[in-house]
Chains A and B, each alone.
Chain A
Amino acid sequence: MSRVMSLEEAVEANVRDGDTVAMEGFTHLIPHAAGHEVIRQRRKRLTLVRMTPDLIYDQLVGMGCAAKMVFSWTGNPGVGSLHRVRDAVENGWPRPLALEEHSHAAMANAYEAGAAGLPCAVFRGYIGADLPKVNPNIKTISCPFTGQSLSAVPALRPDIAIIHAQRADRSGNVLIEGIIGVQKEAVLAAKRSIVTVEEIVDDFGQRSPNACILPSWTVTAIAEVPGGAFPSYAFGYYKRDNAFYTAWDAIARDRDSFAAWMKANVLEKGPEAFAAHSRKRAMAAE
């Protein structure tokens, strides 16, 4: 059964140095508050898994939390490069970052295989592409029935999956709405999971019988962090702060301005700071 606790306690109990960590959310519901907490608790040597490393991993990499990144697209969507990730890859600052690179289809299939308890994912992919030449974790397999040549990648089985969702109920079930990405697969593939939510409610009330719900017994820890996806968004709560994504480019371009921003907004703040984003954005949306 999931347990409701503070974000500090959830990270303290579930994220360890050297862990393989998947923080998911496909543009939507990115668990930024949880990412900040991992930085504040100074976790080290993490293998960071995520289909689309954007600001959340730029921050973790820039603060020296990561040794490796497994990904399929990395950048600040619609804006440009991730300067902290590039600095780590190109200059080893603040420490070197190993990369394991896939396509989206491969990553999505690999999470699904992890959730399904399979050792690998099989799909039709990478045909004529160069990634299999540089990533030894991409292999070819032939269909035992038709002989068709297909691609295979290892299943993703993170030590811990961290996601953000709209609501949990008093029994510890989690409801995810909108662009649901690979969050369900990531949680079911992982050994442990932390879910931050906009709010904990008595009851989910009216919902579709096919709503995307993670039952309490599939989740390790739940923490209520309103605004916890900012500057990403929470469908039904607040919008994506596109202006912040644009502003991040200048903040992260320079090591000193990045360090100053992280000190003022992460190291010297707590998860409760995110609530202001939620309230402000919600009012602006009205």
Chain B
Amino acid sequence: MYGGYVGKILRVDLSTGRMRELSTWRYVPDFIGGIGLGYKLLWDETNENTTEWSPENALIFASGPCCGTPVPTSGRAEVIGIAPQGYPIPWAAVSGFGGDFGPKLKFAGYDAIVIVGKAAKPKYLFLSDDGAKILDGEFLWGMTSYTTQDALAAKHGEDVAVVCCGPAGENRVRWATVQSRSENAAGQGGFGALMGDKKLKAVVVKPGSHKVKIANPEKLIKEVVKVSAEISPAGQTKIPVVGHDIPFSATKGKGRYGVRHQSCAYSACTGGGNVTWDLPRYFSKVPMKYTGDGSISGVMYCVGNCSPWLLNNDWGNTELGVEMNKLCDQLGLNVWEMFAGMAWFWQNCQNAGKLPRILGEKIELNKNGPGVYPKTEQHADVPEEFAVRFMRAVAYREGEGDIWAEGTPRAADALGLSEYVWKTHKHGYGPHWDGRHLHYVHSPVWIVSALGWATQGRDPYDQQHGYVERYTSHVTEWAPYGEGQGKKGAKSWFDTETISYREACKAGAKIYGAPHANDGWDNPEFSYVDKEYVATWHEKRAIMKSSVPVCDRQFPLLYNAKKPDMIEDLDAEVRFFNAVVGTNWTLDDMHKACERAFNVMRALHVRQGRTRAHDESVIPYFQQPARFPDEQPSQELDVRKFRDLLERYYKLHGWDTATGQPTKAKLIELGLRDVADGLAKIGKLS
């Protein structure tokens, strides 16, 4: 018997009210947990005719084996389903969140919940020692995510964990979030809309008498201590970014805004003994102009950190930034899409002389954009009063808000602005670590990013965090912030010692098993060489992180200037997994399991109609010049070379190069005969 798993998955059909239990052991450890498990459950539940609004579209919440254990950053849960935000086809996608829902789901007796069907009236699901119950949710309908959670905590006790949708989700806004506590949300994908569509306001889990076995506790403790130190190495003191340098305890509750840090999840990374920006910051004293009192007055965390500079020019206006975050959280809207997707689309339209009015109001956005950071003068500059009105109009689908509720690409189609969408959105999602608009990324790093964008169902966030963010921020020549920028001694984004570009190339050759994997910056002849190895490696790591699970931002642990080969700790996640589950997997074994899950994802997309053309649809976006002021011959995607790269990528996967479909041989090699049969049946197996 393996540790780490409860052994049961709850399946709920909201149409009939029927509930039954599936055995987790049918799926693990082969599919690990989290999104690996989730993709396979989704495959089993859906078919080629399933759309985002079909009753059989499954809304899946999944924990993973390390969730609820002392593994640093493991307190995460994942949402999996056919995602309403995707465009033109709502591709199957995933979205993760921290907090306490994942661990408490397990302590309430389940590794995952699969929710299909649609309730006729608002319901919520309550899991406790007394079993699973579908309860009347009428009294919650219409409440904000904060009020909902508070009402449920009052009813069921404060030890519960809750996921819920806000009014935006109820109204099937395609960029509605699933919210958990104040600081955690599954943002991308629009899974809040899926909850609303199923008339499921919330899922409440109450820890009961369930226990989750740990195979090797002492080994686990040893790894926890080791890896915690790697995540937050000694000497890391602060993140040298303007506005981030708030000491951990010095201003706790005492500063202008009453800043306090608190971890984002069970067993979160804490930043060690150091100042950190990975802990959410709570502001108790921000004036609450738009969101009312009676609750905390704002939280900033990971993505939430971004809105101040997206909204109103700089970090100086913290008050407004945190309040906008809070408003998004309350309504259950995706803050990232609002400020890093839709607002920039508006700017592109206005720069072309279109869209002078939004919601009937004359709005003049910053013409020197879109784009942010470090050039703050390029921010969208959405007027704050308007932003509040707009978000409410969308969440409640009032007037023109009804159109924008469909998400940027569909709204653009409805308003005759389709020709501007591709400048920001790919597969329905706004920019992220791709060298345009937002993150300044050197070539050829964004070429790997483009490959990730091409082949995923949403923004390839977990690949970007693991590769683009980690790599670029650890290279001396690229060190983006603070003193010593670009020179020896420059610090990384994580306030650690950087390594030279040449050292990174050498390390990359070893990590990815390809000589030019990290190469191609000052020698552009290698920009497109070996990049398929990097992309496929990080795909596996992405699956790994969100299945084990650990934080997608902190892992994998790639570089360390103090190590002889500059490589930090590539199999930390595998050691955690082994200690908890009791397996004896090597990194290769884990990579195989990840490849298996990635192929299920691809099969889901292919079944939905994915073709090579869909993958290549991201090309025009990357033909826009990259924003980093590099003195390089080209900052635009070379289409011919990229198509060759894509072809090599398919080959490396063992997929058909003409269609991008998985092959029978590959699926069988991965133990996915049922998936192969499913694709063959509809004529989509190469």
Partners in one complex: no
The interface of chain B, by Cβ under 8 A from chain A, is none
The interface of chain A, by Cβ under 8 A from chain B, is none
